[in-house]
Amino acid sequence: DTFGKLNIVVNNAGILRDRMIFNMAEEDWDAVVAVHLKGTFNMCRHACEYWREEHKKGDLLNGRIVNTSSDAGLLGNVGQSNYGACKAAVAAMAIIIGQEMKKYGVTANAIAPVARTRLTVDATPSTAALMGAEPKPGEFDMFNPANVAPLVVWLASDDAASVNGQVFRVGGRSVWPMKGWHSATRIKNPEPAPWEPTKLGARIKEELAKGITAPEGMGDVFAGGL
């Protein structure tokens, strides 16, 4: 009502209910899903309906969606199966919505911030010491949330119209375009028949031993500095 139209949606609300899976109550799971996943769905669902209807009227609003994911979802993190599952899901949601809404001039992308927030400091002891430390005078504050803003601003702009269904990690001075789920190799039975389980298992172990699916860890991210 105030601005007359909707152009940009940034889904950034979040909570944590960290537990190991064997200690996680159903309420812990449901609370995180309700905020991160259903909350993101609700915003995207109604925004996309609005943009589609406006497009039918001939009003091209160049809608932009930016979902907030996390390395907990993209890489995994112990004690965060609820949070990580939701953050992986909102990244996938951005990819799929980008495919669905492209013909209406709408883009959807996701970011995984590396920054100092109440979730990474107050609610996550494992990252509090690193991200919560105040920078020395004159030193670049690599965990300042303001470092994330330029990417969000650009993704929401007309200049980013060709960037759709992408996921980016962002923090400090760096932006990492993410590749997501891609085949690392192909294990094909040389015979025109289904695999025999033990032979298949031997081939899988042989390929995995090459490190082709070795996960990226946060140590790898920080190794080059932010």
Question: Are 101 and 109 spatial neighbours (Cβ–Cβ below 8 Å)?
Answer: no
Catalytic residue among 87, 104, 126, 210: 87
Q: What percent of the chain has pLDDT over 70?
A: 93
Catalytic residue among 57, 70, 81, 210: 70
* Res. 74: pLDDT tops 70: yes
Q: Is 87 a catalytic residue?
A: yes
Question: Are 35 and 15 spatial neighbours (Cβ–Cβ below 8 Å)?
Answer: yes
Catalytic residue among 83, 136, 157, 210: 83
Q: Is 70 a catalytic residue?
A: yes
Question: Are 187 and 200 spatial neighbours (Cβ–Cβ below 8 Å)?
Answer: yes
Region 19-40: what's the mean pLDDT? 98
Domains of the chain: 8-182 (3.40.50.720), 185-226 (no CATH)
Region 142-171: what's the mean pLDDT? 96
pLDDT in tens, 176-196: 999 988 899 999 999 999 999
How far lies 141's CA from each of 28, 130, 152, 173, 226, in Å? Answer: 33, 12, 19, 10, 10
For residue 95, what are the contacts with CB-CB under 8 A and spacing of at least 6? 108, 110, 165, 166, 167, 180
pLDDT band at 134 (very low <50, low <70, confident <90, very high): confident
